[in-house]
Chains A and B, each alone.
Chain A
């Protein structure tokens, strides 16, 4: 962390947070660039919310620094950090109208009546609720309340927007719609944003960069595509998306023995000879059309179950020759029809070697 890129807006530098002897955050560092949308992704209890509260100033880190444009803001109280925040519960003031909620932060900025009115109207239009100003929060749906909370946070034009699981309390369909709304709003306003979520789909669809956290440490930082295609740890591989895991042993660089079969893989660097490993691959990467003996990593399997999941089928496959565990494969509808994927059938599948990730197993 000696050279700091100019465009870095916020830097979290070697942050530790101890609650008694429990370390909620262990040496956490990452950067957020101007205008970027960053997701902190992890299971509950991984420290992501604590990290967000530290960035906001609601909690104080035990050690480490928070830098804004290169300057240390660790010592500033929340009000002086110029960050907006939206909580999962929305925390809208129930006795104030939507207008007064959105205007709440503007009074503190010494704005005057007409200015405030213009700004609030601008924001209500922005969130697509221009006529909701006179309503009270209890009269709005969950999604509308969420938008008002967003407008309230954005009203004073914060330099950084912090979102703490803002969509978790909404039903599934609405959540998907609001993801796009929030994201497009963020793009339009170019407001630098950090979102905390445990929902990997949310992180994958919304973020420019994802910071995957587990048990107080950062597992991986990358674009959604990098995180999905190229998980650096078994935790990330498991947490983001669907994944098959098989235990095996390295027999040579690039070759792993799993059960009775030997699979060709890439990227086994750093693993010792004959190391025990865990290989993983995504169900959608299993090629069910493998035919001919020349195919790499071909494997005869028996189909034991087929689950219909709407836009595709998920087949459970048991390798017939190798003594390996069952694996799952996602089969597009048309292929299922074409190949007659059904329980009891025997087929041959292949695992593309560049889609297999190998991790050390302890």
Chain B
């Protein structure tokens, strides 16, 4: 049998559209190679080279570990990340519990308000905290002589910045529970407290772990908050920046970046593992839990959520207010002076327009690329090896901090031997970098949406003589439009708010708004920095509102065919 089978394996000719799909998959693999894999390779190899590009083994690492000034920032980063995680997580859990398991009032409002931090760069809470608790801060006395500049400020700013990320994961975890478990527990006579500890918590444990890992990684790798409020307290993220931009020491910069990458990858791997377990818990027959009203506990949760949301809204309002103050703390009258950016730097409003252009292109190209790529992976066939590479590269960016990707881009695209060197210093490289940085989450969104479509659409089209791209346009894209919009908005907002991914890549003509915030803050123009940060918030918030409206209209228009 084996011999006979080996003799003449049947082969099938490829149709024209099957060729197109294969070429597109290869193109996608090449793009991910250039945008993700090769730059990271450049970083890795740079960390093993001396200034002249000669391989020196672990010498740079030895220098790093033997220098206490450098190595201490590693522990600082870990410490700050651990503390921020332990503060954020319980708050986010109670908030998520209230949203999913209670019948408290104003859930919609609480959900919306909790999203505020996503609209702002992590620079914003840091700036607001300086206004509140800084050397001339309003509430400085509340700190009892402690300084906000340093770990304290970083931790508070990060708690603000990471709150919605933790909340999203915990809400999902608490939502995916099976009502029948609770009914069984109640039928067996368990008291609410016992049910909480024997059913709720174990059910959400993977979600809690997953949220903790995500918050930890976000804090570990964040650049904005420690840059503004860190003072002399060094963390890895600011170290990379100082080594590369300040001292032009690319080799040590590469080592510090690797130190940043390593925990991020570990935590990423752990998070993926944990998340898979969480998914496995939910069976297809699960009955969603509908919370029952309970006056006492509903008001209790209402109170707790209000207490949690006040500082979040307060930080935003402080930043908004600061942006209108004429001259802090000497002239507290309101005005638009801080928004006249050309008073503070020659570029004026240019960074803002650059941000809009950059975010627009990122959303447009990124969404097309990511959704198209996910479609190719999910719904076409052939070239299994190339596909597995694409799959791997598509997941990789989630583990790579923005700073690390940014520094990798310098090493890769700025290398004189690279034919792509012309990209350096253009807006295009910022767009490429941002798409790559936020690739994975969007890729997963697209994949989830595509998995919900019938797997046989492509087979049916082939039998009806329609090439796959016709079905893609006529069926897949319209049906997945909500997910496509989600991806576009996600890409746009992140492109507006990101600092870390672009801090190494801008040149004066491509300076973006978030970078302008960093530089105006550095130059002591805190009012202007707050104003520019608020411009980012206004823009992101407007787009989010438009998104909600469009989604609603879309929902109404497609009701006929979505109704089940």
B-side contacts of A153, CB under 8 Å:
463-464
Q: Which of A33-63 contact B (CB under 8 A)?
A: 56-58, 60-63
Alpha-carbon separation in the docked complex, A138 to B454 (Å): 14
Instruction: Answer whether A62 and B9 are a contact pair too, CB < 8 Å, given A78-B15, A104-B464, A105-B464.
Output: yes
Instruction: Answer whether A77 and B457 are a contact pair too, CB < 8 Å, given A16-B5, A63-B5, A138-B563.
Output: no
Q: Is the CB of B292 closer than 8 A to any CB of chain A?
A: no
Alpha-carbon separation in the docked complex, A85 to B466 (Å): 13
Once the chains bind, are B463 and A56 in contact (CB under 8 Å)? Answer: yes
Q: Which of A126-146 contact B (CB under 8 A)?
A: 136-139
A-side contacts of B295, CB under 8 Å:
none
Once the chains bind, are A91 and B465 in contact (CB under 8 Å)? Answer: no
The residue from A76, A96, A152 contacting B474, defined by CB atoms under 8 A apart: A96
Alpha-carbon separation in the docked complex, A78 to B18 (Å): 11
Q: Is the CB of B193 closer than 8 A to any CB of chain A?
A: no
Chain A, interface size category, equals 35 or more
A-side contacts of B474, CB under 8 Å:
93, 96
Residue among B13, B14, B18, B467 with the highest chain A CB neighbour number at 10 A: B13
Once the chains bind, are B15 and A105 in contact (CB under 8 Å)? Answer: no
Q: Which of A81-127 contact B (CB under 8 A)?
A: 83-85, 87, 89-91, 93-96, 104-105, 107-109
Q: Is the CB of B550 closer than 8 A to any CB of chain A?
A: no
Once the chains bind, are A87 and B12 in contact (CB under 8 Å)? Answer: no
Once the chains bind, are B5 and A60 in contact (CB under 8 Å)? Answer: no
Residue among B8, B18, B460, B470 with the highest chain A CB neighbour number at 10 A: B460
Alpha-carbon separation in the docked complex, A167 to B146 (Å): 74
Q: Give chain A nearest CB distance to B212 CB in angstroms.
A: 39
Q: Is the CB of B462 closer than 8 A to any CB of chain A?
A: yes
Count, A-B residue pairs, CB within 8 A = 118
Q: Is the CB of B560 closer than 8 A to any CB of chain A?
A: yes
Q: Give chain A nearest CB distance to B51 CB in angstroms.
A: 51
Q: Give chain B nearest CB distance to A302 CB in angstroms.
A: 44
Q: Give chain A nearest CB distance to B176 CB in angstroms.
A: 25
The residue from B9, B560, B562 contacting A63, defined by CB atoms under 8 A apart: B9
Residue among B459, B462, B464, B479 with the highest chain A CB neighbour number at 10 A: B464
A-side contacts of B17, CB under 8 Å:
79
Q: Give chain A nearest CB distance to B6 CB in angstroms.
A: 9
Instruction: Answer whether A80 and B475 are a contact pair too, CB < 8 Å, given A58-B462, A105-B464, A137-B561.
Output: no
A-side contacts of B454, CB under 8 Å:
87, 89-91
Q: Give chain A nearest CB distance to B373 CB in angstroms.
A: 22
Alpha-carbon separation in the docked complex, A108 to B462 (Å): 10
B-side contacts of A89, CB under 8 Å:
454-456
Alpha-carbon separation in the docked complex, A85 to B479 (Å): 22
Once the chains bind, are A74 and B10 in contact (CB under 8 Å)? Answer: yes
Q: Give chain A nearest CB distance to B22 CB in angstroms.
A: 13
- Return the chain B residue nearest A164 by Cβ: B456
A-side contacts of B455, CB under 8 Å:
89
B-side contacts of A90, CB under 8 Å:
454
Q: Is the CB of A259 closer than 8 A to any CB of chain B?
A: no
The residue from A85, A94, A139, A155 contacting B459, defined by CB atoms under 8 A apart: A85
Alpha-carbon separation in the docked complex, A156 to B420 (Å): 49
Alpha-carbon separation in the docked complex, A61 to B10 (Å): 6
Once the chains bind, are B465 and A105 in contact (CB under 8 Å)? Answer: yes
Once the chains bind, are B15 and A80 in contact (CB under 8 Å)? Answer: yes
Q: Which of B211-230 contact A (CB under 8 A)?
A: none
A-side contacts of B556, CB under 8 Å:
none
Q: Give chain A nearest CB distance to B75 CB in angstroms.
A: 49
Q: Is the CB of B4 closer than 8 A to any CB of chain A?
A: yes
Alpha-carbon separation in the docked complex, A77 to B8 (Å): 19
Once the chains bind, are A79 and B10 in contact (CB under 8 Å)? Answer: no
Instruction: Answer whether A107 and B466 are a contact pair too, CB < 8 Å, given A87-B456, A91-B456.
Output: yes
Once the chains bind, are A95 and B10 in contact (CB under 8 Å)? Answer: no
B-side contacts of A65, CB under 8 Å:
10
Instruction: Answer whether A95 and B464 are a contact pair too, CB < 8 Å, given A57-B12, A80-B15.
Output: no
Once the chains bind, are B464 and A63 in contact (CB under 8 Å)? Answer: no
Q: Is the CB of B11 closer than 8 A to any CB of chain A?
A: yes
Instruction: Answer whether A76 and B457 are a contact pair too, CB < 8 Å, given A62-B5, A138-B562.
Output: no
Q: Is the CB of A300 closer than 8 A to any CB of chain B?
A: no
Q: Give chain B nearest CB distance to A145 CB in angstroms.
A: 12
The residue from A63, A64, A76, A83 contacting B463, defined by CB atoms under 8 A apart: A83
Alpha-carbon separation in the docked complex, A74 to B456 (Å): 21
Once the chains bind, are B5 and A94 in contact (CB under 8 Å)? Answer: no
Q: Is the CB of A272 closer than 8 A to any CB of chain B?
A: no
Q: Give chain A nearest CB distance to B322 CB in angstroms.
A: 48
Q: Is the CB of A267 closer than 8 A to any CB of chain B?
A: no
Instruction: Answer whether A84 and B558 are a contact pair too, CB < 8 Å, given A60-B12, A78-B15.
Output: no
A-side contacts of B53, CB under 8 Å:
none
Q: Is the CB of B232 closer than 8 A to any CB of chain A?
A: no
Once the chains bind, are A152 and B464 in contact (CB under 8 Å)? Answer: yes
Once the chains bind, are A78 and B479 in contact (CB under 8 Å)? Answer: no
What 0/1 readout, one digit per residue, does chain B (446-474) give for beta carbons within 8 Å of chain A? 00000000111101111111110011001
- Return the chain B residue nearest A54 by Cβ: B10
Residue among B12, B18, B471 with the highest chain A CB neighbour number at 10 A: B12
The residue from B456, B465, B470, B560 contacting A139, defined by CB atoms under 8 A apart: B560
Once the chains bind, are A84 and B463 in contact (CB under 8 Å)? Answer: yes
- Return the chain A residue nearest B466 by Cβ: A108
Q: Is the CB of B564 closer than 8 A to any CB of chain A?
A: yes
The residue from A76, A136, A152 contacting B561, defined by CB atoms under 8 A apart: A136
Once the chains bind, are B15 and A60 in contact (CB under 8 Å)? Answer: no
Q: Is the CB of A18 closer than 8 A to any CB of chain B?
A: yes
For the complex of A and B, list the 3 residue pairs with the smallest distance between their C-beta atoms, beginning with the closest. Answer: A105-B464, A77-B15, A108-B465
Q: What would be 10 A-B contacts, judged by CB atoms less than 8 Å apart?
A: A16-B5, A63-B7, A74-B11, A75-B12, A80-B15, A85-B460, A91-B459, A94-B562, A105-B463, A108-B466
Extra 5 A-B pairs, beta carbons < 8 Å, given A78-B463, A93-B474, A95-B478? A63-B7, A75-B13, A76-B12, A85-B460, A108-B466
- Interface of A toward B, CB cutoff 8 Å: 16, 18, 56-58, 60-65, 74-80, 83-85, 87, 89-91, 93-96, 104-105, 107-109, 136-139, 152-153, 155-156, 158
